[in-house]
Amino acid sequence: MAEINHRCAVLGRPIAHSLSPVLHNAAYRALHLDDWFYDRHEVGEDDLERFLKGLDPTWAGLSLTMPLKKTIQPYGLPCDRWSKELMVANTAVFDWKGACRNGDESLPAIRLYNTDVRGIELAFEHSYDARGSRPVSDHSCDAVIIGNGNTATSALAACVGMPAVGHVTVIAR
């Protein structure tokens, strides 16, 4: 096995169920990125700062899930429309040479992105393509979002941008 020079992971609590390591490591192998490795770490809101401060320059980035998509915000700079507008990020990319380190030299510069909104849009586009159909564009369709967490926020943003969707119902406890 090659020496690991680029590390990434998904963080969250709970995280044991995540298939992200399987998917990412398979992609790394397919792309011949033999010195890349993707793992999972059980990290909650109170653990995030300690985890970040324990990283070294082999770390390239993180995927973030519940409950960290908002918790990561003070540590990084939102770099795309959705991480800025929603203040929800599921991806953190590290720049160990960057100047914007939030005043803390123990942390890399962290660029934040929300790939959930576009991912949801692409899932719907793929579904239409797979069925050989086109979405209507008259806002006549209804959407239902189950949950009210950070991914639900991204799902709502995706629905608002879909020309077929005219009404969204959010079901939450």
Cα angle 38-27-66, degrees, rounded to a multiple of 5: 45
pLDDT confidence bin for 98, thresholds 50/70/90: confident
Q: What is the pLDDT of residue 101?
A: 53
Residue 102 has pLDDT above 70, yes or no: no
The mean per-residue pLDDT over the stretch 135-156 comes to 94
Cβ contact 136:164 at 8 Å: yes
* Residue 37 φ then ψ, to 5°: -145, 140
Environment class of 154 (CB within 10 Å of its CB; exposed 0-12, middle 13-18, buried 19+): buried
Q: What is the pLDDT of residue 68?
A: 97
Residue 99 has pLDDT above 60, yes or no: no
The token duo for 31 is: 């792309």
Q: Which of 53, 69, 84, 97 is catalytic?
A: 69
84 as an active site residue: the answer is no
The token duo for 10 is: 């998904």
Q: What is the pLDDT of residue 109?
A: 94
Cα angle 6-41-92, degrees, rounded to a multiple of 5: 55
Cβ contact 11:50 at 8 Å: no
| CA–CA dist 63, 12 (Å, integer) | 9
The mean per-residue pLDDT over the stretch 41-53 comes to 97
Summarised one tens digit per residue, pLDDT across range 31-41 is 999 999 999 99
Summarised one tens digit per residue, pLDDT across range 108-122 is 999 999 999 999 999
Residue 163 has pLDDT above 80, yes or no: yes
Q: What is the pTM for the complete model shown?
A: 0.90
Q: What is the pLDDT of residue 135?
A: 86
Q: What domains are defined for the chain?
A: 6-114 (3.40.50.10860), 117-171 (no CATH)
pLDDT, the chain, mean: 93
| CA–CA dist 150, 90 (Å, integer) | 9
| CA–CA dist 8, 106 (Å, integer) | 18
